[in-house]
Amino acid sequence: MINPDFPLWLRASHLINFILIGMLLRSGWEILSSMPRLWWRNDCKPGTEWLRFTRRKLPREEGVYTSLMDEKSLSPLIGLPGRENIGLGRHWHGISVMLWVLNGLVYVVLLFATGLWRRIIPTSWSVFGEAWESIRMYLGFRAPAIEHFDPYDAAQMLAYTAVIFVLAPLLILTGVAMAPAVRSRFPWYVKLWGGHQGARSLHFILMVLISAFIVMHVGLVFLVHAEHNVVHMVFGTTDTARSAQAFTITIATVVAVVLFWIALSYWSLADRARAQRFTAGVSEIGRRLFLNRMRPRMGRQNTYTDDDISEFHWTNGLPPTEDESPEWVEARDDAWRGYSLTIGDDLSGAEKTLALDELTELPRTSYVAVHTCMQGWSATSRWTGVRLRDLLEVLGPQPEGAHYVLIDSYGLAQKMYDNRPREPFYAVLDLDTVYEDDTILAYERNGTPLETHLGAPARLRVESNHGYKHVKWVRSIRWIADYAEYGDGRGGTREDSALQAFNGRI
């Protein structure tokens, strides 16, 4: 007999949810492993973590330890994809989120459209007393009688309601709060969650609660009236005579899904460039629909003020050495009197060179903003400098045929994708990002000249994007036609070497 409480659409969405939750968890663990520490304070000062998954002890001095040095490697059996591939992990996480949210919306709409919401959402206060009795039975290793399941008992109803309508939305809301495009547009929203680190820590706690629910949920399926549960899940009927068949199909499905999760990891690792093209391309759909329209306004907000400035600031990448950039070292040792910045046009070959004092004479802008690294750390500072669009005007109007701006560094990449010799660090910005008010070349932090380890004498700030777009120790800024002609053709060093997305808004 068909059970109306378990129609095909509900069983299908349940299976899809199982697949996507596994992808979400495994890619989330990959992201966490790149910065295996959690803070409540937004400056991420070493020694103030409330939880860490590493035995490494951090130095208290700024600029001697980079966040990439703290990265841990997960097995492909655990992480998606594993082996220190945070870029691919972030892309898989984005794809999983989009599909998970879409599946959830379809589920909730159909739940209310068909009236099946009553199977999950309690309609009487008596559910709390009944749930307590059920919990007492479970704690005593007993189970409520089958007549208490309609189709779930009171404790399960409350758990499902909490997961679907509380935990899942909170996961989405805290995840969104970690996107720099959202933070730079709606800083009050991020501060509502306790800042970037508050949102990150809450996101982790919610993940743990969801994981605990999954373990209990799966356990109850097989331990409490399994002959009914598996038939409901597989066939949508009440015919317990088919329980053995349903049990076999269930186990086979679980094994197939686990193998699929692992296969995604090894498929990604087999050709990481191919995996980047696919995953970054698919996840870009979400950025285009949701984030690309958000323009930063840190210079016009008062949510973050000088009172929020961080005590400590992490870094990624170390200053150039004599072997890497003798001209930068010479300029540093001469108080930047020999520093030069080239503004160029690769289409025509035109260029102009500015000294530091000429740069500081251009119109200034200043604002307080939160810097976030794609690994997870953050810091709040007041940045002062010149808007990138004003700096480019030194060379004249935007050249015809120029579609991007390339910024490169006196410093080198920390590592290359294929372990070839390290090359100068660079990033490419699209025109919309170039013309944002809060895309600047900064030469001061917190009212004093920029520190050496944070990019002195001048560094890029792109408040709508994660830190891998914020080039330090800037050497040149040039109009270009197409970034495919530079580096490995992905639009930046971190896109080339860490397989990040060209669009760094989340």
**The three-state (H, E, C) secondary structure of 168-188, written as one string:** HHHHHHHHHHCCHHHHHHCHH
Provide the pLDDT for residue 270: 96
Same structural domain, 485 and 421: yes
For residues 475-479, give the mean pLDDT: 97
Are 268 and 312 contained in the same domain?
A: no
C-alpha–C-alpha distance, residues 229 and 151, integer Å = 9
| Domain CATH for 403 | 3.90.420.10
User: Are residues 283 and 302 part of one domain?
Assistant: no
68 within a domain of the structure (yes/no): no
Q: Please say which residue of 238, 266, 289 terminates a domain.
A: 289
> What is the model's pTM?
0.92
SS3 429: strand
Query: Are 124 and 259 within one domain?
Result: yes
Final residue of a structural domain among 225, 256, 289: 289
pLDDT of the residue at 184? 95
On whether both 283 and 307 belong to a single domain, the answer is no
122 by DSSP, 3-state: which? coil
Question: Structure tokens of 296?
Answer: 């930063």
* Residue 204 CA to its chain's centroid (Å): 12
Computed over every residue of the chain, the mean pLDDT equals 91
* 504 belongs to a structural domain: no
Q: Which of 295, 314, 22 is nearest to 180 (CA)?
A: 295
- The HSE-up count of residue 381 (CA atoms within 13 Å, CB side) is 23
Asked if 319 and 456 sit in the same domain, the reply is yes
The verdict on 133 and 110 lying in the same domain is yes
Cα 178 to the center of its chain, rounded Å: 7
pLDDT digits (tens, 9 = 90+) for 351-367: 999 999 999 999 999 99
pLDDT of residue 207: 96
Q: Within a domain: residue 418?
A: yes
Same domain membership, residue 278 and residue 346: no
How far, in Å, CA of 395 to CA of 405, rounded? 13
CA gap 162, 130 in Å, rounded: 16
Residues 324 and 212 in one domain: no
User: How many structural domains comprise the chain?
Assistant: 2
Confidence of residue 473 (pLDDT cuts 50, 70, 90): very high
Give the pLDDT band (50/70/90) at residue 127: confident
pLDDT at 148: 58
Residue 340: pLDDT band by 50, 70, 90 thresholds?
A: very high
Contact at 8 Å (CB) between 457 and 174?
no
Return d(Cα 115, Cα 394) in angstroms, integer: 65
Query: What is the rounded distance in angstroms from the CA atom of residue 368 to the CA atom of residue 444?
Result: 12
Domain boundary residue among 242, 257, 289? 289
Alpha helices in 114-194 (DSSP H): 126-139, 154-162, 168-177, 180-185, 187-192
Is 54 within the bounds of a domain?
A: no
Between helices 8-34 and 226-235, what is the axis angle to 10°? 100
209 within a domain of the structure (yes/no)? yes
* Dihedral in degrees, nearest 10, Cα atoms 152, 158, 163, 167: 180
315 and 181 housed in the same domain: no
Residue 373: name the closest of 86, 14, 61, 129 by CA.
86
d(CA 158, CA 216): 13
Confidence of residue 402 (pLDDT cuts 50, 70, 90): very high
pLDDT > 70? residue 25: yes
**Is residue 78 included in any domain, yes or no?**
no
122-146 average pLDDT score? 80
Same-domain check for residues 350 and 282: no
Q: Give residue 479's domain range.
A: 296-496
Contacts of 67 (CB under 8 A, 6+ apart): 35, 314, 315, 316, 373, 375, 377
- Cα atoms in the Cβ-side hemisphere of radius 13 Å centred on 30: 27
Q: Is residue 467 part of a domain?
A: yes
Give yes or no for a contact between 432 and 288, defined as CB atoms under 8 angstroms apart: no
In a domain, 183, yes or no: yes
Query: Using one digit for the tens of pLDDT, what is the confidence trace for 202-244?
Result: 999 999 999 999 988 887 777 776 676 677 777 777 777 788 8
| For residue 5, pLDDT beyond 80 | no
Q: Per residue in 269-328, pLDDT tens?
A: 999 999 999 999 999 999 999 899 899 998 889 899 999 999 999 998 899 999 999 999
DSSP secondary structure string for all residues of 74-115: PPTTTSSS-SS-HHHHHHHHHHHHHHHHHHHHHHHHHHHHTT
Verify that 386 and 489 share a domain, yes or no: yes
Q: Taking 90 as the threshold, does the pLDDT of residue 489 lie above it?
A: yes
